[in-house]
C-alpha cells in the first residue's frame, strides 16, 4: 500500500486514475497532476469520490516536479504524460528519492527517434539510490513484453521467432483520427520500418512490407511491418531471438490521409514561421484533429494485440499465440475512454500495483520483461484484459 503520483491527464491518465481509485488497499493516496489542472479536476470530479488530489505541473521543468514530489511525497511516480517528459521526470525522481514507471520511451522533441539508450543511461544512478524504474508498462510496449517473458518462462526452452501483432478493428466514425496523442502517433507510424534478424537491424521503407493476418474474433486485416520500441529491449533481454518484428493494422483510408498529411508537410517537426510566429506543423495538426480522449462515445469494435512465437520445446519446434481482445464499447462503458487508452492505462495501473506490493522491486532501470510475469498476468485477468493462448497453430508468419 502506498501513495502514487500520476502525471498526465489525457486518455491514458484517465484510465489509470479510474482503475486506481477502486483499489484503496493498494493505492492509499492518489494525486493526478498535469499541465492543465482543470483537466485533472474534471477527471477527479467524475471518478474520484474525493480520492484524487490534483495539481498543476509543467513536467518539462525539473524544479517544478521536485517541488510537487516533495510536497506530496509519493512512493511511485506514474508518468503518462508524453515521451518528451521521461527524462525530466526521471531526474526529479532521482533528486527526491522516488521510484518511477512509464509507458513509452524517451523521444527528443526535435528528432522523431525513440530509443532506450537515454533512459538506460540512468540505470546506475537508480540502482545506487535503491530506486526502481519500470519502463514501458502499457500494452505495447508492456503487455506484449510480459507475454514474451511468460512464453520464455513457461512455454519454450528457446524463443526464436517473435512477431508482435497489433490490430485495431474499431471504427470511431471519423474520417481521420489517431487513437492516442496525434503528435506521438504520427511520428511513430510515418518513420521507416525496422526489424531484428540474425543479430542485426533490417531497415525498410515506411509500410513497405505488409500482409493480411487473421485476428481472433475479427478476421483478416492488412498488417504493416513497423518499428516499435519494445523490439529493442526484447532482443537484448532474450538473446535467443533470431527474428523479431512488429505488425500493425491500418485501413486504406487512414493510410491515404497519412500520405496526404506527409506530402503537404503537415507531419513536419521543424518549426516554421507563420504570420510572424513560430509554429510546428505537427503540433498545429494535433490542434485541429479530433482529441483521442473524445473518440470513445461512438467507437465500435475491438482491438486484438498479441505475440505469435515460434521456438523450441523439448527439442521440437513449437508455435504459440497469446493475445487479448478488448472492446471499445466495454472500455468506454467502464471508464469513458476507448480501448487504446484502456489497454495502456490498465497495465500501467497493474505495474504500479506490482511495485506497491513489492512483487516488482528491483533497483535500477528495468524494462517490464525483466520482472516476474506471473503476478502481472494474473492481475490482467482480474482487471479487464483477459488473455488467451493457442498452441501449435499456424502463425501465418
Ligand atoms: P494525451 O495527449 O491524451 O495526454 C497526455 C497528457 O500529458 C495531457 O494531459 C497533457 O497535458 C499532459 N502533458 C503533456 N505535456 C506535459 C507537460 N510538459 N507537463 C505536464 N503534463 C503534460 O496522451 P495519451 O493519454 O493518449 O498518452 C499518454 C502516454 O501514453 C504517451 O506517452 C503515449 O505515448 C503513451 N502510450 C503508450 C501506449 C502503450 O501501449 N505503451 C499506447 C498509447 C499511448 P494537456 O492536457 O495540457 O495537453
Per-residue pLDDT tens over the stretch 54-83: 999 999 999 999 999 999 999 999 999 999
Tell me which residue has its CA closest to atom 10 in ligand 1: 8
Q: Strands 302-313, 76-79: parallel, antiparallel or unpaired by DSSP?
A: unpaired
Q: For residues 160 and 315, is the Cβ–Cβ distance under 8 A?
A: no
Positive or negative CA dihedral for 94, 96, 98, 100? negative
Q: What is the 3-state secondary structure (H, E, C) of 286-348?
A: HHHCCCHHHCHHHCECEEEEEEEEEEEECCEEEEEEEEEEEEHHHHHHHHCCCHHHHHHHHHH
Over residues 312-323, the mean pLDDT reads 98
Q: Are residues 171 and 310 in the same domain?
A: yes
What is the whole-number distance in angstroms between the Cα of residue 15 and the centre of ligand 1? 12
Which single residue is written with the C-alpha cell 493498494?
26
Q: What is the CATH number for 130?
A: 3.40.50.720
Within a domain: 353: no
Measured distance CA(363)–CA(131) in Å, rounded: 5
Q: Are residues 126 and 148 in the same domain?
A: no
C-alpha torsion 348→349→355→359, nearest 10: -100
Ligand 1 atom closest to Cα of 141?
41
Q: For residues 4 and 31, is the Cβ–Cβ distance under 8 A?
A: yes
pLDDT 10s digits, 135-173: 999 999 999 999 999 999 999 999 999 999 999 999 999
CA 48 to chain centre: 24
Q: Are residues 80 and 220 in the same domain?
A: no
Measured distance CA(84)–CA(183) in Å, rounded: 11
Q: Are residues 161 and 113 in the same domain?
A: no
C-alpha torsion 61→66→69→75, nearest 10: 110
| pLDDT given for residue 218 in this prediction | 98
Q: What is the CATH number for 303?
A: 3.30.360.10
How many other C-beta atoms lie within 10 A of the C-beta of residue 280?
16
Measured distance CA(34)–CA(357) in Å, rounded: 26
Classified as helix, coil or strand, 107 is coil
Where does ligand 1 bind, in terms of residues with CB under 6 Å? 8-13, 34-36, 39, 57-60, 80-83, 85, 103-104, 138-142, 180-181, 184, 292-293, 340-341, 344
pLDDT bracket for residue 109 (50, 70, 90): confident
Structural domain for 222, as ranges:
143-336+384-391
Q: How many domains does the chain have?
A: 2
Q: Are residues 166 and 239 in the same domain?
A: yes
Within a domain: 350: no
Q: Are residues 202 and 115 in the same domain?
A: no
Least confident of 88-102, 231-245, 246-260: 246-260
Choose one of 135, 166, 195: the last residue of a domain.
Answer: 135
What is the whole-number distance in angstroms between the Cα of residue 280 and the centre of ligand 1? 18
pLDDT bracket for residue 277 (50, 70, 90): very high
Within a domain: 367: no
Measured distance CA(35)–CA(56) in Å, rounded: 6
Q: Are residues 93 and 202 in the same domain?
A: no
| pLDDT given for residue 388 in this prediction | 98
pLDDT 10s digits, 18-30: 999 999 999 999 9
Q: Are residues 27 and 118 in the same domain?
A: yes
Within a domain: 379: no
Over residues 118-136, the mean pLDDT reads 98
Question: Which of these, 393, 379, 291, 292, lies nearest to 339 by C-alpha position?
Answer: 292
Q: Are residues 131 and 165 in the same domain?
A: no
Angle at 335 between CA 332 and CA 341, to 5 degrees: 75
Within a domain: 62: yes
Choose one of 135, 166, 186: the last residue of a domain.
Answer: 135
Q: Are residues 107 and 189 in the same domain?
A: no
Q: Are residues 172 and 283 in the same domain?
A: yes
Measured distance CA(186)–CA(267) in Å, rounded: 7
Q: What are phi and psi of 96, to 5 degrees?
A: -105, -5
Positive or negative CA dihedral for 65, 69, 70, 76? negative
What is the whole-number distance in angstroms between the Cα of residue 390 and the centre of ligand 1? 34
Choose one of 83, 106, 135: the last residue of a domain.
Answer: 135
Within a domain: 88: yes
The yes-or-no verdict on residue 350 having pLDDT over 80 is: yes
Q: Are residues 187 and 89 in the same domain?
A: no
Within a domain: 256: yes
Amino acid at each position: 500500500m502506498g501513495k502514487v503520483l500520476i502525471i498526465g491527464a489525457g486518455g491514458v491518465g484517465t484510465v489509470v486514475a479510474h482503475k486506481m481509485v477502486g483499489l484503496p488497499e493498494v493505492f492509499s493516496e492518489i494525486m493526478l497532476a498535469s499541465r492543465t489542472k482543470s483537466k485533472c479536476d474534471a477527471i477527479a470530479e467524475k471518478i474520484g469520490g474525493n480520492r484524487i488530489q490534483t495539481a498543476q505541473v509543467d513536467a518539462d521543468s525539473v524544479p517544478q516536479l521536485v517541488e510537487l514530489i516533495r510536497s506530496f511525497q509519493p512512493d511511485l511516480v506514474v508518468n503518462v504524460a508524453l515521451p518528451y517528459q521521461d527524462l525530466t521526470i526521471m531526474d526529479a525522481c532521482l533528486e527526491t528519492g522516488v521510484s518511477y514507471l512509464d509507458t513509452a520511451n524517451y523521444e527528443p522533441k526535435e528528432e522523431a527517434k525513440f530509443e532506450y539508450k537515454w533512459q538506460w543511461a540512468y540505470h546506475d544512478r537508480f540502482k545506487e539510490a535503491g530506486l526502481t524504474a519500470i519502463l514501458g508498462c502499457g500494452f505495447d510496449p508492456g503487455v506484449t513484453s510480459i507475454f514474451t517473458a511468460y512464453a520464455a518462462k513457461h512455454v519454450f526452452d528457446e524463443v526464436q521467432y517473435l512477431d508482435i501483432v497489433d490490430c485495431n478493428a474499431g471504427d470511431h466514425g471519423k474520417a481521420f483520427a489517431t487513437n492516442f496523442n496525434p503528435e506521438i502517433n504520427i511520428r511513430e507510424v510515418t518513420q521507416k520500418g525496422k526489424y531484428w534478424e540474425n543479430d542485426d537491424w533490417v531497415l525498410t521503407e515506411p509500410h513497405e512490407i505488409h500482409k493480411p493476418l487473421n485476428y481472433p474474433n475479427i478476421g483478416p486485416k492488412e498488417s504493416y511491418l513497423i518499428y516499435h520500441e519494445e523490439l529493442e529491449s526484447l532482443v537484448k533481454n532474450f538473446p535467443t531471438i533470431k527474428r523479431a518484428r512488429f505488425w500493425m493494422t491500418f485501413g486504406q483510408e487512414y493510410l491515404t490521409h497519412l500520405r496526404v498529411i506527409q506530402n503537404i508537410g503537415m507531419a513536419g517537426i521543424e518549426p516554421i514561421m507563420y504570420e510572424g510566429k513560430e509554429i510546428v506543423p505537427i503540433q498545429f495538426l494535433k490542434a485541429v484533429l479530433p482529441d483521442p480522449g473524445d473518440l470513445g462515445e461512438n467507437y465500435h469494435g475491438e482491438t486484438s494485440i498479441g505475440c505469435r512465437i515460434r521456438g523450441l520445446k523439448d527439442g521440437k519446434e513449437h508455435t504459440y499465440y497469446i493475445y487479448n481482445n478488448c472492446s471499445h464499447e466495454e472500455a468506454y462503458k467502464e471508464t469513458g475512454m476507448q480501448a487504446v487508452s484502456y489497454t495502456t492505462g490498465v497495465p500501467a495501473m497493474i505495474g504500479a500495483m506490482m511495485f506497491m506490493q513489492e512483487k516488482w522491486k528491483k533497483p535500477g532501470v528495468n524494462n517490464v520483461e525483466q520482472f516476474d510475469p506471473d503476478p502481472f498476468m494474473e492481475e490482467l485477468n482480474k482487471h479487464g484484459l483477459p488473455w488467451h493462448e493457442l498452441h501449435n497453430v499456424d502463425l501465418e508468419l
